[in-house]
Copies of this chain bind each other. A is one copy, B any other.
Amino acid sequence: MMPVSSDHSVRVAACQLSLQVGETGRNRAAASDAIGIAAGQGAHVVVLPELVPSGYVFASAAEARALAEPADGPTVTGWQRLAAQHDLVIVGGFCELGESGEVLNSAAIVDGGGTRAIYRKAHLWDAEPDVFTPGDCDPPVIDTARGRIGVMVCYDAEFPEWVRKPALAGADLLAVPTNWPAEPRPAGERPMVVLNVQAAASTNRIFIAAADRCGTERGVSWTGGTVIAGADGYPLAGPVCADEPAVLVADCDLRLARSKANSPRNDVHADRRPGLYR
């Protein structure tokens, strides 16, 4: 695996955006603007929400299909240009029209060299099965100039078995585009989706950057839980927990994710007992 950058610190940005279903041009511009802000703050890696260009709250499968674009379509090629221009790694979600005509809830990881991988969400939420074909491939783990980056989408990250896969494959940072619908929670409590991210980071000693939504889309509001968690699970930036756009930035010493030690004699991965888990 490639070494992490020579100064060890990778500046990660997670962008919380307000998007509207069908307003593709405006949604792409919101993402581009946030990428520009992140680049201006010295970010090396930028994480965007799920389904950026299309929005999320589709009225029908037909509407989603009409908004889908191929993996080499305008959204991902636009991110390629911005990645090259600002020397960034960008991870973001989009509504993909697959090569066989299927519609997928996908995320791209791109850098100055182009698209490094496309991931398709494997765990679908609520009405998504009416719209999307679930993915059945592992989350990618990509060696970038800024460290090894894994990718999954939203509800995927609530399955600890799924987070384990890129973590065991050596991901330093897991990038999670999300659209977390707002749910009630007790006063003073952090959203459980954020706690799940923190626990997933801690349980694997990896960094996790989750980029969420804000605003209201066809009556659905969002958690606004954008967060960057360190390898110890504690937030380095966020959670925002407010209904407003945000570009969070945190300096992540990704070397910390290359040791899984959580005590002088423990290791969160080596201590697993997979023979007992069957």
Contacts and interface: CB of A to CB of B under 8 A. Distances in A.
B234 A125 contact: no
Interface in A188-226: 189, 192, 195-196, 198-200, 202-203
A101 interface: no
Interface stretch (A60-68, A92-100, A249-257, A265-273): A265-273
Given A123-B273, A160-B203, A192 B198 contact: yes
A155 B207 CA distance: 21
Nearest to A123: B271
A87 interface: no
A161 B160 contact: yes
A242 to B, nearest CB: 17
Given A202-B192, A203-B158, A136 B234 contact: no
Contacts of A159: 203, 271-273
A7 interface: no
A234 B127 contact: no
A263 B126 contact: yes
| Interface range, A side | 35 or more
B195 A202 contact: yes
Contacts of A155: 266, 271
A267 to B, nearest CB: 11
A264 interface: yes
A164 B126 CA distance: 22
Contacts of A263: 125-126
A162 interface: yes
A165 B195 contact: no
Contacts of A268: 158
A150 interface: no
A161 B192 contact: no
A233 B192 CA distance: 7
Nearest to A274: B161
B158 A160 contact: no
24 contacts: A125-B263, A125-B266, A126-B264, A126-B265, A127-B265, A134-B273, A136-B273, A155-B266, A155-B271, A158-B268, A159-B272, A160-B161, A160-B164, A161-B274, A165-B277, A192-B198, A192-B232, A192-B233, A195-B195, A195-B198, A195-B199, A196-B199, A196-B203, A199-B200
The 8 closest A-B pairs by CB, nearest first: A160-B160, A199-B199, A161-B277, A192-B233, A192-B202, A126-B263, A196-B199, A126-B265
